[in-house]
Amino acid sequence: MKYLKTLALALAVSTLFGCTLDPVVDLAIQSVEPTHLTVSEAGQSVTVTIEVRNGIDVGLNSYEIKYYSLARSIEIDHRADLTSHIGGGSYDDGSWETATGTVGVVITYTDLIDYAQDNDIEQMTAEIYIHGRDANGNDFKIGKAYVTLYF
């Protein structure tokens, strides 16, 4: 009964002050491999590792890539769908254990290769963002992971 009173009080206070009991996931891109890639064909990919820090499950639903050459934005951006899930981790000794998951991201496309060849570009930077939704229905966008592309 004491538990129910505490829960009721917490709900009342959170409603009164506009708080929510559905926290947003705490996550970040931990790494990308490889960080440098010699482009030889369309369809080459990198592996992005994502870390979830507060125990909330996430679904990854898309990624986007922005390309830059000499600090200038290239006219080509790519966005593609993903279907991936990362479990949030476990609660141990008063804190959440982190959970990690990886996702493959296709980073080279025919139009990108053609653009680099047509404009005599030898090097580009790809900036990767991952989109998704956590188990509480909160949408998120995380980034940035960088990969240097050599043509």
Q: Return the exposure string of 52-69: e unless at least 16 CB atoms fall within 10 Å of the residue's CB, then b.
A: bbbbbbbebeebbbbbeb
- 9 band by pLDDT with thresholds 50, 70 and 90: very low
Tell whether the model's pLDDT for residue 106 goes beyond 60: yes
Q: And the tokens for 65?
A: 């890539």
Range with the lowest mean pLDDT among 3-12, 71-80, 83-92? 3-12
- 21 band by pLDDT with thresholds 50, 70 and 90: low
Q: Work out the angle at residue 150's Cα, subtended by the Cα atoms of residues 146 and 151, and round it to the nearest 5 degrees.
A: 140
Smallest Cα–Cα separation from 52: which of 21, 83, 87, 22? Answer: 87
Q: How far apart, in Å, are the Cα atoms of 149 and each of 29, 76, 94, 144, 145?
A: 19, 14, 43, 16, 13
pTM over cut 0.95:
no
In tens, the pLDDT along 76-90 reads 999 999 999 998 877
CATH of 24-150, picked from 1.20.1260, 2.60.120, 2.60.40, 2.30.30, is: 2.60.40
Q: Where are the domains of the chain?
A: 24-150
Q: So what's the pLDDT on residue 75?
A: 86
- 151 band by pLDDT with thresholds 50, 70 and 90: very high
